[in-house]
């Protein structure tokens, strides 16, 4: 695991500044390549072959490469290349990637099982290729304005190079809507993410840029569904899981697992404890019982016999992490579970672990989020009403207005519920229902805060909808929420303490297999993750499997209405916000007043505003 940077010119001072800004991603080594056309930089976190033969940038004939990630099946690919006469000097996957590209070009990526952000420069062709892994585990940003081209593992290096970056209002809208910036956007104009499963090609001579997809999960959903029995599917899934998890144990340094006690992390720990043994598991707990999964994680660990470490997160520790939150997440990022993820990464680091496995992706692949069946239930009720009636009702509610209606009906938080229902009634399809449900701030609220409206586009929903509305929701999350929230959270939290996070459930072969599994084996009769639970029953007793899902949240309202309340007073400074000219200060004051008066308020909405103000203070002011 490492950090990479590059730009289409030569400037040693800027290159070194860029590398310093991501030193945490690779404190073990660093290196540069410089030419008039292109500069490349690399910071290394040594995981495989700890010797100097793993140094990057790495060169072979006309190719120069910097790379971040792990290709777990590199030994098999290496044997293939050796049969073609290639000779290897190191035991690294980096050298295998470079020579595989030399042999097969971009088609080499089809052989890779792993997570990666790769930059390869062909000095003969004057051509740079950037490749991002299939799901988007590893980050890869780039800036291009027609003249300057810059890429990096995080935004900080790009900010070191470009001092006059402007905020992208569309991206800001998405942040306040979801708590993260999705798709290929970033918080800055002319700055993007290489989409998962894509590669980008830049001619450094002609400054021509092209983007092309090399993998997608969609074609696997369009294949015929399996007609195998339930037991056959469970056995085949188990074999896939064992193989995928074993690959993630390839390392020359100690490996641990983040264990929440939920289905996904439990199956990772269970399979690896059985097939490897002596697994080290880590858990974060909370004193507030309704958020605390640590007791369940401890029971799972005791049953499996893992070497278990738990740590309870207090509001004072959260406050310490918050001081560095925007250093870790250098783009506005509102997932508050980034706080406990950072703490559990710190705990793992102190225990001597350099690689951790995090069981993300199970909800999107196996159907685990409670919001899926909740949205299905709401949609079923809404679509019982004729379309014309829904439209008339929504229009009538808009004309009456939430404030006027609240004078007649005295219900807690009535105005918000009224406006939310009005928006929901306007939907003509399942995608609209789902997006309305998962918006943290509703469209009417963001209009008041930012003064603009934006519609998002996610085509994959319709592919899943052909099978089931909930499958459409899963694909929506797989393409947006998973890479741009969950995987961003884990990458930045682990790399902030210089440890490598791996995602065993996100092996593309598992996703391809589950795409062809009929939906009834994902969600059946109110049971989520049906097929995955069937596999887990071989490893854990039912009482540790069949329990309510809690998620990885924190006691936001309890903390921010008490111990962390002063942060809002510090950052919600009226004069500063007015000078920025971005957010509606009157709206912020109104929402902040609700918190002060202990009246119902969307605490996540206030948290997003706080995160943006902290980020702005750090990077823009």
Of 348-352, 515-519, 543-547, least confident by mean pLDDT is: 543-547
Evaluated on CA atoms 518, 522, 523, 524, the torsion sign reads positive
Distance of CA 190 to the CA centre of its chain: 21
Buried b (16+ CB within 10 A) or exposed e, 438-455: bbbbbbbbbbebbeeeee
Collapse the DSSP code of 565 into the 3-class scheme (helix H, G, I; strand E, B; otherwise coil) and give the result.
coil
pLDDT at residue 316 greater than cutoff 90: no
Distance of CA 455 to the CA centre of its chain: 21
**Chosen domain end from 196, 215, 234:** 215
401 and 355 within one domain: no
Of 314-318, 412-416, 529-533, least confident by mean pLDDT is: 412-416
Task: Please give the Cα distance from 103 to 99 (Å, whole number).
Answer: 6
Are the CB atoms for 300 and 540 separated by under 8 Å? yes
Task: Please give the Cα distance from 15 to 39 (Å, whole number).
Answer: 7
Residue 333: closest CA among 26, 1, 604, 620: 604
336 and 248 within one domain: yes
Distance of CA 179 to the CA centre of its chain: 12
pLDDT band at residue 552, thresholds of 50, 70 and 90? low
Residue in the structure block whose two tokens are 């007073």? 569
Collapse the DSSP code of 167 into the 3-class scheme (helix H, G, I; strand E, B; otherwise coil) and give the result.
strand
Mean pLDDT of 414-420: 78
Q: Is the model's pTM score more than 0.75?
A: yes
pLDDT at residue 551 greater than cutoff 60: no
116 and 26 within one domain: yes
pLDDT at residue 561 greater than cutoff 80: no
Whether 105 is covered by a domain: the verdict is yes
Are the CB atoms for 67 and 94 separated by under 8 Å? yes
413 and 312 within one domain: no
Other beta carbons within 10 angstroms of residue 305's beta carbon come to: 12
The DSSP element (H or E) to which 273 belongs, if any, is: helix 263-275
Whether 481 is covered by a domain: the verdict is no
CA distances from 18 to 11, 35, 57, 216, 428 (A): 11, 17, 15, 32, 47
Share of the chain above pLDDT 90, in %: 72
Task: Please give the Cα distance from 479 to 196 (Å, whole number).
Answer: 8
- Of residues 519 and 322, more confidence is placed in 519
pLDDT band at residue 49, thresholds of 50, 70 and 90? low
DSSP string, 221-252: HSSPPP---HHHHHHHHHHHHHHHHHHTT--S
Would you state the pLDDT for residue 416? Answer: 74
Whether 265 is covered by a domain: the verdict is yes
Residue 306: closest CA among 252, 268, 263: 268
468 and 496 within one domain: no
512 and 589 within one domain: no
Per-residue pLDDT tens over the stretch 434-490: 998 898 888 888 999 998 888 777 889 999 999 999 999 999 999 999 999 999 999
Roughly how many angstroms between the first and final C-alpha of the chain, as a whole number? 32
Task: Please give the Cα distance from 390 to 424 (Å, whole number).
Answer: 9
Whether 153 is covered by a domain: the verdict is yes
Are the CB atoms for 454 and 173 separated by under 8 Å? yes
136 and 8 within one domain: yes
What angle do the packed helices 443-450 and 585-596 form, to 10 degrees?
120
Mean pLDDT of 598-612: 87
Residues near 400 by beta carbon (within 8 Å), at least 6 away in sequence: none
Q: What mean pLDDT is reported for the chain?
A: 92
- Of residues 556 and 579, more confidence is placed in 579
Buried b (16+ CB within 10 A) or exposed e, 161-174: bbeebeebeebbbb
- Sheet containing 198-203: give its strands across: 58-60, 63-71, 114-122, 127-132, 198-203, 208-213
576 and 502 within one domain: no
Residue 234: phi and psi, rounded to 5, are -65, -45
The residues annotated with a catalytic role in the active site are 2
Q: Is 206 exposed, middle or buried (0-12, 13-18, 19+ CB in 10 A)?
A: exposed
Mean pLDDT of 556-584: 86
The domain spanning residue 309 has which CATH number? 3.40.50.620
378 and 246 within one domain: no
Collapse the DSSP code of 293 into the 3-class scheme (helix H, G, I; strand E, B; otherwise coil) and give the result.
coil
Whether 126 is covered by a domain: the verdict is yes
Would you state the pLDDT for residue 415? Answer: 75
Collapse the DSSP code of 85 into the 3-class scheme (helix H, G, I; strand E, B; otherwise coil) and give the result.
coil
Token representation of residue 255: 């490996």
**Chosen domain end from 156, 185, 215:** 215
Evaluated on CA atoms 384, 388, 392, 394, the torsion sign reads positive
Q: Range of 347's domain?
A: 223-368+489-544
Mean pLDDT of 360-369: 96
pLDDT at residue 399 greater than cutoff 80: yes
Are the CB atoms for 152 and 22 separated by under 8 Å? yes
**Chosen domain end from 171, 190, 215:** 215
Per-residue pLDDT tens over the stretch 135-193: 999 999 999 999 999 999 999 999 999 999 999 999 999 999 999 998 789 999 999 99
Whether 523 is covered by a domain: the verdict is yes
pLDDT at residue 404 greater than cutoff 90: no
Task: Please give the Cα distance from 263 to 509 (Å, whole number).
Answer: 20
- Of residues 549 and 194, more confidence is placed in 194
- Of residues 605 and 220, more confidence is placed in 220
pLDDT at residue 421 greater than cutoff 90: no
Are the CB atoms for 443 and 423 separated by under 8 Å? yes
Residue 466: closest CA among 222, 217, 227, 215: 222
Whether 50 is covered by a domain: the verdict is yes
Query: How many domains are there within the chain?
Result: 4
Other beta carbons within 10 angstroms of residue 384's beta carbon come to: 8
510 and 361 within one domain: yes
Whether 480 is covered by a domain: the verdict is no
Residues near 569 by beta carbon (within 8 Å), at least 6 away in sequence: none
Are the CB atoms for 179 and 481 separated by under 8 Å? no
Per-residue pLDDT tens over the stretch 217-245: 999 999 999 999 999 999 999 999 999 99
DSSP string, 335-357: -TTHHHHHHHHHHHHHTT-SEEE
380 and 469 within one domain: yes
Task: Please give the Cα distance from 149 to 127 (Å, whole number).
Answer: 12
466 and 346 within one domain: no
Task: Please give the Cα distance from 389 to 549 (Å, whole number).
Answer: 36
């Amino acid at each position: 695991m490492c950090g990479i940077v590059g730009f289409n010119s030569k400037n040693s001072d800027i290159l070194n500044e860029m590398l310093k800004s991501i030193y945490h991603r690779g404190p073990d080594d660093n290196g540069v390549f410089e030419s008039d056309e292109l500069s490349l930089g690399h910071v290394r976190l040594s995981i495989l072959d700890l010797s100097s033969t793993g140094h990057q940038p790495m060169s072979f004939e006309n190719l120069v490469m910097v790379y971040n990630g792990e290709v777990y099946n590199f030994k098999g690919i290496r044997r293939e290349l050796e049969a073609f006469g290639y000779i290897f000097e190191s035991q690294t996957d980096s050298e295998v990637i470079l020579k595989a590209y030399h042999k097969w070009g971009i088609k080499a990526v089809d052989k890779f099982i792993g997570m990666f952000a790769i930059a390869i420069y062909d000095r003969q062709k004057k051509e740079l290729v950037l490749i991002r892994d299939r799901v988007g585990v590893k980050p890869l940003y780039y800036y291009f304005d027609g003249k300057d081209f810059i890429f990096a593992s995080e935004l900080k290096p790009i900010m070191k190079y470009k001092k006059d970056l402007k905020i992208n209002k569309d991206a800001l809208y998405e942040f306040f809507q979801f708590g993260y910036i999705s798709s290929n956007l970033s918080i800055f104009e002319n700055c993007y993410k290489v989409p998962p499963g894509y590669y980008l090609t830049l001619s450094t001579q002609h400054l021509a840029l092209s983007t092309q997809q090399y993998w997608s999960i969609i074609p696997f959903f369009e294949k015929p569904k399996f007609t195998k029995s339930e037991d056959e599917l469970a056995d085949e899934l188990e074999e896939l899981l064992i193989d995928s998890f074993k690959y993630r144990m390839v390392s020359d340094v100690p490996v641990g697992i983040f264990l929440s006690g939920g289905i996904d992390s439990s199956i990772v720990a269970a399979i690896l404890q059985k097939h490897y043994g002596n697994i080290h598991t880590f858990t974060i707990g909370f004193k507030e019982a309704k958020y605390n999964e640590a007791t369940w994680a401890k029971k799972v660990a005791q049953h499996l016999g893992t070497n278990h470490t738990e740590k309870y997160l207090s509001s004072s520790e959260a406050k310490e992490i918050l001081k560095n939150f925007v250093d870790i997440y250098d783009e506005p990022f509102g997932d508050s579970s980034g706080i406990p993820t950072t703490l559990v990464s710190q705990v793992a680091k102190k225990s001597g672990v350099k690689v951790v496995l995090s069981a993300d992706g199970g909800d999107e692949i196996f159907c685990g989020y409670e919001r899926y069946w909740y949205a299905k239930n709401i949609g079923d009720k809404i679509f019982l009403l004729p379309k014309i009636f829904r439209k008339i009702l929504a229009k009538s509610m808009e004309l009456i207005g939430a404030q006027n209606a609240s004078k007649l009906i005295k219900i807690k938080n009535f105005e918000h519920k009224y406006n939310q229902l009005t928006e929901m009634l306007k939907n003509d399809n399942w995608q609209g229902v789902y997006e309305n449900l998962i918006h943290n701030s509703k469209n009417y609220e963001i209009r008041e805060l930012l003064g603009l409206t934006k519609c998002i586009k996610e085509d994959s929903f319709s592919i899943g909808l052909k099978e089931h509305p909930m499958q459409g929701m899963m694909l929506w999350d797989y393409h947006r929420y998973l890479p741009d929230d969950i995987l961003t959270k884990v990458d930045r939290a682990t790399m902030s303490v210089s440890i490598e996070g791996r995602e065993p459930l996100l092996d593309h072969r598992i996703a391809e297999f589950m795409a062809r599994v009929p939906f009834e084996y994902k969600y059946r009769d109110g049971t989520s993750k049906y097929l995955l639970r069937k596999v887990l029953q071989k490893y854990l007793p039912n009482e540790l499997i069949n329990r309510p899902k809690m998620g990885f949240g924190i006691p936001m309202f309890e903390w921010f209405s008490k111990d962390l309340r002063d942060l809002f007073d510090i950052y919600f400074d009226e004069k500063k916000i007015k000078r920025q000219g971005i957010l509606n200060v009157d709206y912020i004051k109104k929402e902040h007043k609700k918190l002060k008066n202990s009246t119902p308020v969307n605490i996540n909405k206030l948290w997003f505003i706080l995160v943006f103000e902290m980020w702005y203070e750090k990077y823009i002011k």
